[in-house]
Structure 1
Amino acid sequence: MAMKTLLRLWATFATLLLAAPASAQAPAGYAYYEIGDVAAPTPARTAQALMLMGGGEWDRGAFRWFAERAGHGHIVVLRASGAGDAGEEIYRDIGGVLSVQTIVFSDRAAASDPRVLAILEHADGIFLAGGDQANYVRYWKGTPVARLLNAHVRKGRPIAGTSAGLAILGGTTYGAMDGGSIDSPTALADPAGPAVTLVTDFLHMPRLAHVVTDTHFNARDRLGRLIAFLAAARQKDASAIGIGVDEESALCVEADGTAKLRTRNGGFAWLVQPRGKPALKPGRPLDWEKVRVTGIGPDSGFDLTSLRVTAPVFAGMARVAGGRLFDAPKAPALAR
């Protein structure tokens, strides 16, 4: 009798563990969190879309747009630090989705874990959180996770990235593999140096093959470093251009390539289009005569296919001489 009671208690405990929304028993290499009904059928069709977020606080209208493109179904959050709090916010505060599952990677082996891959296969929308993009490169590049992220958008499903999550979506990525996050003066002083750690052949997103992305853009004065990244990228890719996104802002790209900016604080997206290819030597500062910079605001139109901007907020031709940036257009002050 005592043995039967013990078995029933153990079965009840095991059931509670499997049903728990917080971190379940996961193999070494990742932690897992879930909230909502992960088994419910997706109520609407999904659509291919990109949500390019500059970091900081989220624009909720952008997330509602993303949830709609995900068919109001199942969102998967991928990260390499933190816990399941972002999933809780998406599900409880923003709403409009059936479930959110969060996978927090701590080892490259997790990128081949069958459970992780099955969760990604089931995702209606994928959100790449902020953190350290070097960990994303180390854990995911050349793995089944990277292949599934590429396959996800080919299936007509949306993907989003904020901060480090946006940094890895471009065809050329600043991987921050030097252990830090380089600033504009340092990058312009030596764009061919070891601190400009660009990564290629990682993710392959629609219309981003020749794009280098950057984040926290105006707040951290990153125009100079994005220009330095483009100088290095153009040594191999003559078509490389840059897109920077301000904090609390999101560039929402539809399946046809048309995009609108959504922002909480009046921020912008920055389209950076240099001319030609500069000569680079390790240890030497950058010289580059013509770099067009265009500001995309909430009332602007932007086509990621043609790179055409209608109603730009600002536009101008910057130049770099001796590693110093001149004539860069100034963005209007952000609303606070």
Structure 2
Amino acid sequence: MVRFASAAAMAALLLSASVARADASAGPDAVGPGYEYYAIGDVNAPTPGKTGPLLGLFGGGDWPVEAFRTFVKQSGGGHIVVLRARGGRELQDEIYKDVGGAVSVETLVIHNEDAGEDPKLLAVIAHADGIFFGGGDQSNYVRAWKGTALNKALDAHVKAGKPIGGTSAGLAVLGGYVYGCLDSISLTSPDALKNPTGPSVTLVRDFLHLPYLSKVITDTHFDKRDRQGRLVTFVGRLVQEENDTAITGLGVDEAGAMLIDAQGIGRYYGPGHAWLVRPLKKPATIVAGQPLTYASFPIVGLGPKSTLDFKTFKVDNPDFTITARVDKGVLIRSDRQGEPHAR
């Protein structure tokens, strides 16, 4: 869908900022209730190409440029809007200058729920060709966005067949279930496995509603930060509480990305892997005050030659398959290509 110049001009006028530029200044281009606004490029330009559906699941840290260029292409080479809870223009400038291909990149740094009801902010969201969530602390996103007009606008963006994605904390909020990190202390795998029903296992429901991810919880910086155990814990607790064995975990490694197309086919980009955790059964033990116990289940690793059909969760050409189990709070992994993995 082409973003007409008149619509872009309206958004720029509402924000009372002259943003059709490619230079950077210290402060924001505009300030609204509970947010700051930045932009680079020509927000008045028409979108050069057609937009199409795409979900971009980026694991954190450096991103694979090829994956982000695909994201920009699916945005019609048009107007990317970055949502963050902290920082300024640095992420948008990286997208515009280093990734390239977008006529403009705008940033909304959102601090509280007041921003999510502001008509000027909502005008920017409504005219975005692609939306991307930055990293940080996902509890800020949950607290400031959930239940607001912004929350509804993000769902509407996806229903309109436009790309949406996120990195690190921005990936963490893309699933139908979310680890909210509501105590703002990143949960470790040993702590999660030791106390799977504890207060730090903060699971959020009914936030974003993205296709193919309704029964998925995601995790980030996955292998580098040893998050297999906590994702297994999240899945086990959700399976138990929702009485739904189809609930699935997907971890994405740092510097990697999983892109999901309109048909629900996911492809991995970059180093590392995406990790599919799908036990298809309830935990043997998930009781308050007791460590987790889970009978054996597979963990499937996807690399650049793998595909994952999110309609069925069938993996073609997996890089590896690990058999894992949890015994009284200890995650035990089988060999991967002859190398022992027990965590």
Instruction: Give the TM-score of the pair, scaled to structure 1.
Output: 0.91
> Would the aligned equivalents of 2:96 and 2:104 in 1 still touch at CA under 8 Å?
yes
Q: Structure 1 residue 240 and structure 2 residue 247: aligned?
A: yes
Q: Secondary structure at the residue paired with 1:220?
A: coil
Instruction: Tell me if structure 2 keeps the 8 A contact 1:275–1:290.
Output: no
Quick check: 2:245–2:280 contact (8 Å CA) kept in 1? Answer: no
Structure 1 gaps, min length 5: 1-13
Q: CA deviation at 1:310?
A: 1.0
Matched, 1:33 2:44: no
Does 2:267 align with 1:260? yes
The one-letter code sitting in structure 2 at the alignment partner of 1:248 is A
Query: Residue type of the partner of 2:18?
Result: A
How many residues get paired? 316
Query: 1:284 corresponds to which residue?
Result: 290
Counterpart Cα distance in 2 of 1:231 and 1:195: 15
Cross-structure match for 2:3? none
Name 2:301's counterpart in structure 1.
Answer: 295
- Percent identity over the alignment? 47
The structural deviation recorded for 1:25 is: 3.1
Aligned to 1:10: none
Looking at structure 2, the residues matched to 150 and 118 of structure 1 have their Cα atoms a distance apart, in angstroms, of 15
Structure 2 partner of 1:172: 177
Q: Alpha-carbon deviation of 1:328?
A: 4.4
Question: Is the Cα contact below 8 Å between 1:66 and 1:158 reproduced in 2?
Answer: yes
Aligned to 1:57: 62
Aligned to 1:318: 324
User: CA, structure 1 residues 138+329, in 2 after alignment: closer, same or farther (shift >3 Å)?
Assistant: farther
Which secondary structure state, in structure 1, belongs to the residue aligned with residue 121 of structure 2? helix
Amino acid at match of 1:146: N
Contact 1:293/1:329 (CA < 8 Å) preserved in 2?
no
CA 1:162 to 1:203, structure 2 compared with 1: closer, same or farther past 3 Å?
Answer: same
Within 5 Å, which residues of 2 pair with 1:101-120?
101-120=106-125
Deviates more, 1:192-201 or 1:233-242: 233-242
Counterpart residue type for residue 324 of structure 2: A
- 1:28 Cα shift? 3.5
State the distance in 2 between where 1:216 and 1:315 align: 19
8 Å CA contact 2:248–2:278 kept in 1: the answer is yes
Q: Report the Cα distance in structure 1 between the residues aligned to 2:265 and 2:178, rounded to whole angstroms.
A: 22
State the shift of 1:316 in Å.
2.4
Distance in 2 (CA, whole Å) between partners of 1:184 and 1:331 is 23
Partner of 1:307: 313
Whole-angstrom CA distance in 2 between matches of 1:329 and 1:314: 10
TM-score normalised by L of structure 2? 0.89
2:228 corresponds in structure 1 to: 223
Local SS of the residue matching 1:18: coil
Cα deviation for residue 329 of structure 1 reads 5.0
Dislocated runs of 4+, deviation >3 Å: 328-333
Q: Report SS of the residue matched to 2:156.
A: helix
